Structure 1
């Protein structure tokens, strides 16, 4: 369900943190966290100080897990890995009412769980979730030192003949520009380093598409999608890269039927799947592989 707004009426002057502690049965530390995240407000402003006095009507933004729960793919005492479906947010956008993987994560692991990385809404596959902030810090160290290796599978347009590595820096566009959700290839000396290696696996002559294994050496937003589109092999089903702007606008405005989506973008969904995770953790080494559920019509005929 994501974030919801709930209103309360306070009849006598009450410090903000006491109102949160008594109303929601949370600790003072958790109350401070809610205030820091600007989840409490009056009609005029967000409450920013825990001792600020409340009286009258106040509004609180609450996270309410959805009833539909994605079950864990793999679980340890320290972390859990989920297989995120395509077209599901990893995390709610801002404080809007939207279903996301956090619904399942909090419902199963509790609200101390920490999502250690994200996948695009359109991408399916493996998500690594720490059970608490201490474990999240350990996993964050692994990410920072590039000790966590991700592998993706993607169906792309055209015939990819050989292995190649794409090294093109990326930058975010100015927010006020049209289609600012898209990342852009940066000029030399600008933007952030982005490196992607691709390995062709299977070519489907009937659909003129290639299944490729993708290993990103860096983790920039939309990196795989824009890199593949830039070399002329856009990912099938991608509504943002390698297609006309008008079609992307229709997608972002939610004005496309399922039939039109497939017609404009070449598949019923983005054909990108986070297939594998490899990493050391304490005294163990983990290597997980998650099967795909790509559209059958895209797969090579037997």
Structure 2
């Protein structure tokens, strides 16, 4: 089940100039129409186009379940330039996630992933690297299995490659899956959060993008505040320590 999106409210614009615009994408909103998500009727491209009254071009992608900074170009030529920046690794991306268990203080996950084009995983291995930094750990009185408490970590994830579902697959690989992730996460933890917190959102937030503006050549940093559900779960798990 995907989180219901309230499209009666305008999208939150984080940055806008004559060439680019960035929004804070809600959890559950597709970037654009997809054959693998035929149940969706609203898309970020369509909503932002109607909101601004002009055509917009998504220069990168976020998973449907991921919230946070999503950047668009306002012309086809700028779209090509910014897509090249992403391909060249010239755009710095950072995410926050709430994951199962206590993660290491810092870790570089260098684990190739089989190519996934949205229609299934192929046999082709692609380089995939993610840097992890643990920001906070918590143990809460929430029974799980044979344990009387549950442990979680808030982590900062910085990918240096851009493979499909990279962060989700990397965190599953090191046995610290992102809460709310399906199918890469822990179904028992997801069920626990749904029953105890009435939460069915994936707790992954695209916090920040940093890049050099192609026209002005100035450094641009765009930061997205937490969407409601991510903020609620931070409070429930970590309290006032964040």
For the criterion TM > 0.5, the same-fold answer is: yes
Post-superposition Cα deviations, 1:67-109, rounded to whole Å, max 9, x if no partner, equal 6531312111110000000011111224956111112221133
Aligned length: 216
Is the CA contact (8 Å cut-off) linking 2:14 and 2:222 kept in structure 1? no
Give the Cα separation in 2 of the matches to 1:127 and 1:173.
Answer: 21
Give the one of 127, 135, 147 matched to 1:201: 135
1:34-73 to 2 correspondence within 5 Å? 68-73=9-14
Candidates 74, 79, 84, aligned match of 1:131: 74
Tell me, in whole angstroms, the C-alpha distance in 2 between the residues paired with 1:265 and 1:272: 17
Distance 1:168 1:265 in 2: 33
What residue in structure 1 maps to residue 238 of structure 2?
Answer: 300
Q: Conserved in 2, the CA contact under 8 Å of 1:237 and 1:265?
A: no
Please state whether the residue corresponding to 2:69 is helix, strand or coil.
strand
Give yes or no for contact 2:117–2:164 (8 Å, CA) kept in 1: no
Higher relative contact order (CA 8 A, sep 6+): 2
Q: In the alignment, does 2:19 pair up with 1:87?
A: no
For 2:94 and 2:172, the matched residues in 1 are separated by 18
1:236–1:270: 8 Å Cα contact kept in structure 2?
yes
Shift of 1:161: 2.6
5+ residue gaps, structure 1, are 1-65, 252-258
SS at match of 1:126: strand
Which of 63, 76, 89 aligns to 1:120? It is 63
Match for residue 47 of structure 2?
A: 104
Matched, 1:270 2:202: yes
Superposed, which structure 2 residues align to 1:136-175 within 5 Å? 136-172=79-115
**Structure 1 outlier segments of 4+, above 4 Å:** 172-175, 264-267
CA distance in 1, matches of 2:58, 2:179: 28
RMSD: 2.9
Q: How does 1:170-249 map to 2 (within 5 A)?
A: 170-172=113-115, 190-206=124-140, 207-244=150-187
**CA drift at 1:298:** 4.0
- The 3-state SS of whatever aligns with 1:228 is helix
The runs of 5 or more residues in structure 2 that have no matched partner are 1-6, 141-149
Equivalent residue for 1:52?
none
In 1, Cα distance between equivalents of 2:180 and 2:27: 11
Q: Return the index of the structure with the highest Cα Rg.
A: 1
| C-alpha distance after superposition, 1:148-194 (max 9, x if no partner) | 1100000110011320011111124799xxxx76x58x7xxx41111
Measure how far apart 1:199 and its partner are. 0.2
1:110 deviates by: 4.1
Q: Is the 8 A contact 1:195 1:216 kept in 2?
A: yes
Q: 1:73 to 1:230 in 2, by over 3 A?
A: same
Q: CA deviation at 1:228?
A: 0.4
